[in-house]
Structure 1
Amino acid sequence: MTYHNNAKAWMITSLFQEWIQEFDHQVVLKHQGQHVLLFLDNCSSHKLDGLTLRYTDVHFLPSNTTSKIQPIDAGVIMSFKRHYRHSHVRLLLRYVEAGNRAEDLRMDILQTIRFIIQAWAWGEINPEVVRNCWWHTKILPDDVNVNLRNVSEDIRQNENLVLDELADALRDLNLSYPMQAEEFLYLPEENIVYKVPEDNKIIEELVYLFKNTDKKNMDLEEIDNSDEIPVISTSTAIASLETVRMFLLQQENAEEYVKLVGKIEKFFRVKKTNSLRQTDINAYFH
C-alpha cells in the first residue's frame, strides 16, 4: 500500500496520476500484462493528460450516474466501512477497558493503514461481495451477470454479523453522545474528496507555499502529532509470540494457527541472529 497526502485531504490531479501509473504497473506485475478496463467517475482531478498507460483502458462513467452504475458505490465502500469501523471501535473499546477515556485515543496514520490492509488484503471483505456489487449495477453483459448473482447466505450473514458487532461495541462504549451503527457508517463529511478551487484561492495557496518554502519542518511529522511508536526488540517480540502460542494451544481446532506461529517465530529468530552478526561485524571494525 502506498500512502500520499495533501494538506486538505482532497484528491488532486497529481496524486491521481501517480496512483493510476502505479496501478498500470501493478497490472504488469500481478496480471502478466493482461489489459484491464478501469471505470472512473468524472471527478475533476481524474485527468489523463500526458500519461501513457500500457495495460489499463480507462472508461469514464456518465456524469451524475456514479451512484447508480459504479460498483464501488453499489456496496463495496459500505462493506469496507463496516470492517474498518469495526476494527476502529474494537480498538477504542480495548482502550476504554484499560481505564482510558475514549476521547483521548489518538489514531495515527500507521494504525489507519493497518486497518485498511486488514479489511482488503486479509480477506475480511469477501470477493463475493464485490462481484455481487457488479451484478447489482447491471452494467455487465447478461451472460456475465448470471455467474455473479448468487451471493451465499454465509456471506450475507457475515456482513450482518459485522454490523451487529459494531452496534454492540458502540453501545458498550457508553459514549456521552451515542451513535447508531448506521449513523457511524454514513458520515456526510467523508464524501468530500475533491474540490475545484476558485482562481483567487489557487493564487493564495501558491503565495503561501512560496513564502514557506524555507520552512523545512512543514511535513508529515508536523501534521501527524501522534505519539512515537517505541522500537520493539526481537526478544520482546518472541516472548509475546509465546503468549499467543499458549492461547492457541488452549483452543480447539487451532493446529494450523499454531504452525503459523512457529513460522513467525522462526522469522523472528533469524532476524535476531542476523542482528547479532551485524553487531559483531561493526564491533570488529571499530
Structure 2
Amino acid sequence: MKTEDCKGGKVSKDRLTVMFTCSATGDKLKPLVIGKAAKPRCFRNIDVRSLPVTWTSNRKAWMTAALFTDWLKDVNSLMRRRKKKILLFLDNATSHSPDIRLSNVTLKFLPANTTSRLQPLDQGIIRAFKARCRKHLLRSVIAKIDDTTATASEVAKSVNVLGAVYMISRAWNETRESTITKCFAKAGFPVPMTADNEGSVSEEDQVQDEVADLIRQGSDRLGVDNIDPDHYIDFDNSMPTEETYSGDWERQLVDNFVADRENVNPAAVDDDDEVEPEPAKDASVRSNLTFPEVLQMLNQLQNFAADKDCPILNHIQDAKSVVEAAIIKQRSTARQSTIDSFFKR
C-alpha cells in the first residue's frame, strides 16, 4: 500500500481499477480494467485489443465519466450487433453519468445509499472474484519462492500488470453462474432458483479454504506470521476507484479533463514501470525439463495467445495452474522429506 513503509525495495506504483458487468442469468461481459498507462512496458509486443479484458487508462487509474461513457457506447454497439436490448442497473457513483441516451442500453439507477443491499455485485460476486484472483496470485508467487535462481526482488517483479490482467480475466471466467444468480436473488431480483444454485456446499467456501492453505504455505516458506484470509481477500475494499467531489469542484473538473486527455495517445508508456527483463531463451528440447522451465514456456505461450487473439488462452492458463500446483506440491514434499531425514539420523 502507498501509505505503508517498504523495506528492501520500492513501493509498487502499479494500480488497477476493475469494473464488472453481469446479468441475473450469469452472463458476463469482459471486465473493464483501468491502468495508469495506455501501453505499459510489460505490454511490449502485445496488442491491447487482443487482451482478454477491455483495457483503458488515465493518470490515476480511476473511473471517470468520460471513460464510463466510452464504455457504455461500446456496450451499446455490442448489444446492437447481438440484436439485444438490456436494462443496466447502476449505483450513484459520480462517474456514472445519467445524461447519456442509448439505443440498446437503458440505464436504471439504484436509490441513493442502497448499494450495499441492492447491488448484486456487492452481495458476493466481487468477493468471489477477489478470492479466486488472490488464489492465483499466491500460487504464482509461492511457485517461485524456492527457485534458487530467483532473488526476492525478481519474484516480486514477476507479477506485473500484464500478469495481473491475465489473473483478472481468469478469475472472472471462473466465477460461477450459480454464484451470480444467487447474489441477484439476495439483492431482491426475481431469479428462478435451480438445484445448482441452491446447493448446500458452497464452492466459494472451498476457494477461501484454498486461499487459507496457500497463505499458510507462503508464511512457512517466508518465516512470517499467518494473515487472516478474510483480511487478505478484502484488504483493498476501502480504496477509492473514482474522484470524490468536494467543494473544490472546479479544480477537480480540470484534473479529470486533463486525465482523460492523457488517455488519447495510444502509444503512451508508463515511465514508472520497471524495465521488463528479456524473456528467457527457449530451453533445448529434452526429456528432463523441470517444472519451472515448463512454467516459463507456458508464460511465453500465454503472451503469444493473447497477442494473436488465440482461443487457447484459457487452456494455457489452466495448464499454468496445474504446473504451479505441481511445483508447490513437489517442494512441500521435498521439504518434508528433509525434515524426516533429519530426525532419523
Q: TM-score, normalised by structure 1?
A: 0.67
Contact 1:41 1:62 in 2 (8 A): yes
Query: What is the rounded CA distance, in whole Å, between the counterparts of 2:208 and 2:285 in structure 1?
Result: 35
1:38 is aligned to 88
Gaps of 5+ in 2: 1-52, 295-310, 313-345
1:129 to partner: Cα distance: 0.6
The amino acid of 1:101's aligned partner reads A
Aligned with 1:66 (options 94, 100, 115)? 115
Contact 1:95 1:102 in 2 (8 A): no
Aligned with 1:152 (options 169, 191, 199)? 199
Structure 1 residues 42 and 229, CA, compared in 2 at 3 Å: closer, same or farther?
A: farther
For residues 253-264 of structure 1, what are the structure 2 equivalents within 5 Å?
Answer: none
Over the matched positions of the two proteins, sequence identity in percent amounts to: 25
- SS in structure 2 at match of 1:45: coil
Query: What is the rounded CA distance, in whole Å, between the counterparts of 1:148 and 1:38 in structure 2?
Result: 27
2:71 is aligned to 19
The amino acid of 2:156's aligned partner reads L
2:212 is aligned to 167
Which structure: greater helix fraction?
Answer: 1
For residues 91-102 of structure 1, what are the structure 2 equivalents within 5 Å?
Answer: 91-99=140-148, 100-101=151-152
2:29 is aligned to none
The amino acid of 1:11's aligned partner reads M
Contact 1:78 1:185 in 2 (8 A): yes
Gaps of 5+ in 1: 248-262, 265-286
- SS in structure 1 at match of 2:97: coil
Q: Deviations over 1:167-210 (max 9, x none)?
A: 1111111253542110101114554111234236437848998x
Query: What is the rounded CA distance, in whole Å, between the counterparts of 1:188 and 1:79 in structure 2?
Result: 14
Structure 1 residues 207 and 229, CA, compared in 2 at 3 Å: closer, same or farther?
A: same
Structure 1 residues 8 and 191, CA, compared in 2 at 3 Å: closer, same or farther?
A: same
2:59 is aligned to 7
Aligned residue pairs: how many? 229
1:82 is aligned to 131
Structure 1 residues 104 and 151, CA, compared in 2 at 3 Å: closer, same or farther?
A: same
1:120 is aligned to 172
Aligned with 2:102 (options 53, 63, 66)? 53
Structure 1 residues 115 and 137, CA, compared in 2 at 3 Å: closer, same or farther?
A: same
2:163 is aligned to 111
- SS in structure 2 at match of 1:105: helix
Query: What is the rounded CA distance, in whole Å, between the counterparts of 2:176 and 2:88 in structure 1?
Result: 20
- SS in structure 1 at match of 2:108: strand
The amino acid of 1:110's aligned partner reads L
Query: What is the rounded CA distance, in whole Å, between the counterparts of 1:206 and 1:194 in structure 2?
Result: 10
1:47 to partner: Cα distance: 0.5
Contact 2:178 2:196 in 1 (8 A): no
Higher relative contact order (CA 8 A, sep 6+): 2
Query: What is the rounded CA distance, in whole Å, between the counterparts of 1:189 and 1:5 in structure 2?
Result: 21
Structure 1 residues 151 and 97, CA, compared in 2 at 3 Å: closer, same or farther?
A: farther
- SS in structure 2 at match of 1:173: helix
2:240 is aligned to 192
Q: TM-score, normalised by structure 2?
A: 0.57
1:149 to partner: Cα distance: 8.5
| Alignment pair present for 1:222 and 2:254 | no
The amino acid of 1:171's aligned partner reads R
| Alignment pair present for 1:136 and 2:183 | no
1:152 to partner: Cα distance: 2.6
Structure 1 residues 224 and 151, CA, compared in 2 at 3 Å: closer, same or farther?
A: farther
Contact 1:24 1:54 in 2 (8 A): yes
Structure 1 residues 162 and 56, CA, compared in 2 at 3 Å: closer, same or farther?
A: same
State the Cα RMSD in Å. 3.7
Contact 1:87 1:115 in 2 (8 A): yes
1:41 to partner: Cα distance: 0.3
The amino acid of 2:59's aligned partner reads A
Q: Higher Cα Rg: structure 1 or 2? A: 1
